[in-house]
Amino acid sequence: MVCKQCQELISEYIDGGLELGEQSNVERHLAGCEPCRAVRDDLLQIVHFSQQLPVQSPSRALWPRISADVTELQPSLWTRTLRSLAGFQALKFNFSVPQLIAGAAALAIIISTGVIISRRDNGPAQLAGVSAVTPSDVTPLSQADLQQLEKQINQLSAAVEQRKEAWDPELRTAFERNLLYIDQSLVECRHQLKDNPADNVSQELMLNAYREKVRLLEGFEKF
Amino acid sequence: MVYKSGHTRHTTRKRSIQFCLLLFFCFALITVSADSQSRFERTYTPRRAAHLTISNVNGRVNVVAWDKRTIHARASSASYVTIQDRVIGDDITISTKRNLRLGRADFEVSVPPETSITIKNIVGNIELRGITGHVSVSSIDSDVRLVKVNSSAVDVLVTSGDVFFDGELRDGGSYSLQSMKGDLDVTLPSATPFNLNARALSENINLGSFLSSLTGSSRGPKGFSGTYLKGGCRLTLTAYAGRILLHKK
Amino acid sequence: MAIITTTLTMPVTGERIHHASDLELARAAAAGDSAAFEKLYEQHHRRVYSLCLRMLGNGTHAEDLTQEVFLQVYKKIGSFRGDSAFTTWLHRLTVNQVLMHFRRRGVKLEHTSEEGDFTNVVDTPLQSTRRISMVDRLALEKAISQLPPGYRTVFVLHDVEGYEHEEISSVLDVSIGTSKSQLHKARMRLRELLTKK
């Protein structure tokens, strides 16, 4: 083993990630090579001290800025009153009030976008100097369509669950892996819509992901 | 104690050897038939530009354009995999029958370039080369490569896998690539005009040297729409957990 | 999934705050208890800031990003179920915010420049026996801040924060091999920076 090879493996050697054969080769080389031992010792020091770096503190002015941001996000007294009157706290949902408001706003945006787009001409959008991204020519879904899609997904999922036990393990793994990818994307879309209900790109991607889930389930339902 | 005669011992030994050979032969037969491959091979002669559909479950699908007027399809598959074909006029469908086992069938197909291709797969990489007819690919878990494709319509939809496109776009054409988990990597000649609509949930969109020349563009972290040169065809790229990468040839 | 309404609706006040677990504080904060949220900040903001500071290499940006992180914490605290430790959840959220910050600024972690970054650094020959002296913490922090973003990210996540390569590859969407390679290059660059005269 030459020094170049040894030094390329030094990090993995330090981290205990080498196979026994390679580890032996490195150790044999280190036993007879002071420059490579110098590299090893230096990297050990770097790793050791990096693990002990202390936490740093931001300025005292940071908390008041965060507190001010958070205050702006808090629901108004009127909203809190409305919630208590409607008995929202008694509902067994796992949403906070900001999330409920964001969800309702997202649905309203989807419906109103559907109305607006259906009245617009088709054609490529060329907007100069506009920061918001215009939706592509995707057929928007109404709330009823969204519910229909979810119902279809539930039915297909139930049908697939019944058949899944008889599948080849490789087939089952392929299905579950790809279902997970789609569900992860849906979760990410929902998070982004909670942060910004007016995010029309996330809306479009979420609807697309739902359609993709239907495609996956329909594809595997036939097995 | 009874001793067998020499002749009896010889006969017994001979029968033992025969029995062992028979057992070995049966064992070999079982082993060979379990691992045996089937071959599917067909040649079609369409009168006009054909539409070929390959509906597979597990395995590679490679389609290459050639300079003959016939379509030649062959597949090697596990013996328990059934491959059927159906021809109606110039519509040719080759499909692998689904069963509970994920039996593998690998396809190698040669077609006239103007053939329209539809490929459906569950698992297995797909490659198309030199095709000028319409292209539609729908798969669950596949890397898809489209090389030297010069079609007026391309639609690729995968749940997981990278999509690689290196070809030409035609004026008025429609091109859509989507992957839920994987990169979309597109290489185009620098003189190709197009209208772009790129969406990436990962916010990872890299338009390379096309970026500075995109006009009328609207952009956000997850989305980019704009016109390159005079526009004309529509290029729609949709990625989720993956990147969108555009390169000039 | 049903929530424990009694816990959510009862504010965590006074003495209870001092001894409340992260999960209790998170639930209270999700219900709108601002004192609970402030307590969470007090307990965790240094760790968040340190991570941001080391990943970004700049104090002002690190404070801005810490502010964004806690805003995200406030918005998403309702989704914290206690499946993992709060610190793990917070840490992952912080790393995601840093990566989004890089992406917004067009910082390409995977295309780390190999040339021209360290024109003033003595390139330690392979055969040199020179070693770095006892590592000075300040010198180490400064050297980390001078690493290219890709190297710095992997180094901070692995050596400072203790992430495994599998986790790093998942978070950064790179292969495990790339993560290991970047880590090694980061360490070697730090060695060069720390041996500079």
C77 contact residues in A (CB cutoff 8 A): 96
Residue B123 sits in a domain whose CATH number is 2.160.20.120
Cross-chain Cβ contact A178/B159 below 8 Å:
yes
What is the pLDDT at residue C111?
A: 43
Which of A38, A43, A94 is facing C3, going by the closest CB pair?
A: A94
Mean pLDDT calculated for residue range B59-74: 96
Helical axes A97-118 vs A143-164, angle rounded to 10°: 110
pLDDT digits (tens, 9 = 90+) for C56-114: 888 888 999 999 999 999 988 888 877 778 888 898 899 989 988 887 777 666 544 44
- Quickly list DSSP for A124-176: ----TT--SPPP-S-----HHHHHHHHHHHHHHHHHHHHHHTTS-HHHHHHHH
In this prediction, residue B193 has a pLDDT band, given cuts at 50, 70 and 90, of very high
In this prediction, residue A166 has a pLDDT band, given cuts at 50, 70 and 90, of confident
What is the pLDDT at residue B219?
A: 77
Phi, psi of B211 (to 5 degrees): -55, -45
Q: Which residue has the higher pLDDT, B32 or A7?
A: A7
What is the pLDDT at residue B221?
A: 75
C96 contact residues in A (CB cutoff 8 A): none
In this prediction, residue A188 has a pLDDT band, given cuts at 50, 70 and 90, of confident
- Percent of chain C at pLDDT > 90 equals 26
Residue B202 lies in a domain: yes
Ranked by mean pLDDT, the top range of B78-87, C112-121, C126-135, C174-183 is C174-183
Q: B172 in contact with C at a CB cutoff of 8 Å?
A: no
User: Which of B180, B183, B201, B202 would you mutate first to test chain C, the one with the most C CBs within 10 A?
Assistant: B202
Mean pLDDT calculated for residue range B94-123: 90
Q: How far is C73 from chain A (nearest CA, A)?
A: 10
B202 contact residues in C (CB cutoff 8 A): 173
Say yes or no: B119 and B176 in one domain: no
User: Which of C173, C174, C175 would you mutate first to test chain B, the one with the most B CBs within 10 A?
Assistant: C173
Q: B241 in contact with C at a CB cutoff of 8 Å?
A: yes
Q: Which residue has the higher pLDDT, A188 or A98?
A: A188
User: Which of B102, B217, B228, B235 would you mutate first to test chain A, the one with the most A CBs within 10 A?
Assistant: B102
Left, alpha or beta for B198 (phi > 0: left; psi -120 to 50: alpha)? beta
For the entire predicted model, the pTM comes to 0.50
What is the pLDDT at residue C88?
A: 83
What is the pLDDT at residue A91?
A: 45
Quick check: C29 pLDDT over 60? yes
User: What is the extent of the structural domain holding B205?
Assistant: 162-249
Which residue ranges make up each domain of chain A?
Answer: 3-50, 95-120+135-221
Three-state DSSP class for residue B126: strand
User: Which of B196, B201, B215 would you mutate first to test chain A, the one with the most A CBs within 10 A?
Assistant: B201
Q: Domains in chain C and their CATH numbers?
A: 5-104 (1.10.1740.10), 109-197 (1.10.10.10)
Say yes or no: B178 and B244 in one domain: yes
B215 contact residues in A (CB cutoff 8 A): 126, 128
Tokens of B78: 């596990």
Cross-chain Cβ contact A133/B225 below 8 Å:
yes
What average pLDDT does the structure give for chain B? 87
Which of A41, A46, A94 is facing C187, going by the closest CB pair?
A: A46
Quick check: B155 pLDDT over 80? yes
Where helices occur in A3-52 by DSSP H, the ranges are: 3-14, 20-31, 34-51
Which of B218, B240, B241 is facing A134, going by the closest CB pair?
A: B218
Provide the domain count of chain B.
2
C74 contact residues in A (CB cutoff 8 A): 69-70, 73
Residue B25 lies in a domain: no
Q: Which residue has the higher pLDDT, A124 or B157?
A: B157
Cross-chain Cβ contact C45/A191 below 8 Å:
no
In this prediction, residue A72 has a pLDDT band, given cuts at 50, 70 and 90, of confident
Quick check: B35 pLDDT over 60? no
Residue B64 lies in a domain: yes
Q: How far is B203 from chain C (nearest CA, A)?
A: 7
Say yes or no: B43 and B90 in one domain: yes
How many of the other CB atoms lie within 10 Å of CB of C168?
22
Tokens of B8: 């009896």
Q: Which residue has the higher pLDDT, A41 or A134?
A: A41
Quick check: B127 pLDDT over 70? yes
Quick check: C165 pLDDT over 60? yes
C72 contact residues in A (CB cutoff 8 A): 195
Residue with tokens 């609807």: A207
What is the pLDDT at residue C123?
A: 47
A201 contact residues in B (CB cutoff 8 A): 199, 220, 222-223
Distance CA B112, CA A70 (A): 64
- Percent of chain A at pLDDT > 70 equals 69
- Scanning every residue of chain A, which has its alpha carbon at the shortest distance from the alpha carbon of B160? A178
Say yes or no: B172 and B117 in one domain: no
Mean pLDDT calculated for residue range B219-242: 89
Where helices occur in chain C by DSSP H, the ranges are: 5-9, 15-19, 22-30, 34-56, 59-76, 86-104, 137-145, 149-155, 165-172, 176-195
Say yes or no: B127 and B166 in one domain: no
C-contacting chains (≥3 CB pairs under 8 Å): A, B
Cross-chain Cβ contact B241/C100 below 8 Å:
no
- Scanning every residue of chain A, which has its alpha carbon at the shortest distance from the alpha carbon of C138? A53
Residue B1 lies in a domain: no
Residue B7 lies in a domain: no
What average pLDDT does the structure give for chain A? 74
As beta bridge partners, residue B164 has B145, B185
Q: B203 in contact with C at a CB cutoff of 8 Å?
A: yes
Whether the complex's predicted ipTM surpasses the cut of 0.85:
no
What is the pLDDT at residue B30?
A: 54
User: Which of A168, A171, A189, A222 would you mutate first to test chain B, the one with the most B CBs within 10 A?
Assistant: A171
What is the pLDDT at residue A186?
A: 87
What is the pLDDT at residue C181?
A: 93
Residue B157 lies in a domain: no
pLDDT digits (tens, 9 = 90+) for C119-134: 333 445 555 555 655 5
Quick check: C115 pLDDT over 50? no
Quick check: C117 pLDDT over 50? no
As beta bridge partners, residue B72 has B43, B110
pLDDT digits (tens, 9 = 90+) for A84-134: 554 444 444 455 556 655 555 555 555 555 444 444 444 333 323 333 344
Residue B234 lies in a domain: yes
Of all helices (H) and strands (E), which one includes residue B182?
none
Q: Which residue has the higher pLDDT, C92 or C12?
A: C92
What is the pLDDT at residue C124?
A: 52
Say yes or no: B124 and B54 in one domain: yes
Of all helices (H) and strands (E), which one includes residue C116?
none
The answer to whether the CB of B107 falls within 8 A of the CB of B61 is yes
Which of A181, A199, A202 is facing B159, going by the closest CB pair?
A: A181
What is the pLDDT at residue B105?
A: 93
Ranked by mean pLDDT, the top range of B31-45, B179-193, C2-16, C114-128 is B179-193
Cross-chain Cβ contact B221/C103 below 8 Å:
yes
What is the pLDDT at residue B145?
A: 97
Cross-chain Cβ contact B204/C103 below 8 Å:
yes
Q: Which residue has the higher pLDDT, A83 or C144?
A: C144
Cross-chain Cβ contact B241/C103 below 8 Å:
no
Q: A124 in contact with B at a CB cutoff of 8 Å?
A: yes
Mean pLDDT calculated for residue range B12-39: 67
Q: A136 in contact with B at a CB cutoff of 8 Å?
A: yes
Q: Which residue has the higher pLDDT, B90 or B33?
A: B90
What is the pLDDT at residue B91?
A: 92
Quick check: C27 pLDDT over 90? no
Mean pLDDT calculated for residue range A154-161: 89
Mean pLDDT calculated for residue range A62-66: 88
What is the pLDDT at residue C126?
A: 55
Q: Which residue has the higher pLDDT, B5 or B37?
A: B37
User: Residue B177's closest CA among B154, B194, B196?
Assistant: B154
Phi, psi of A36 (to 5 degrees): -70, -35
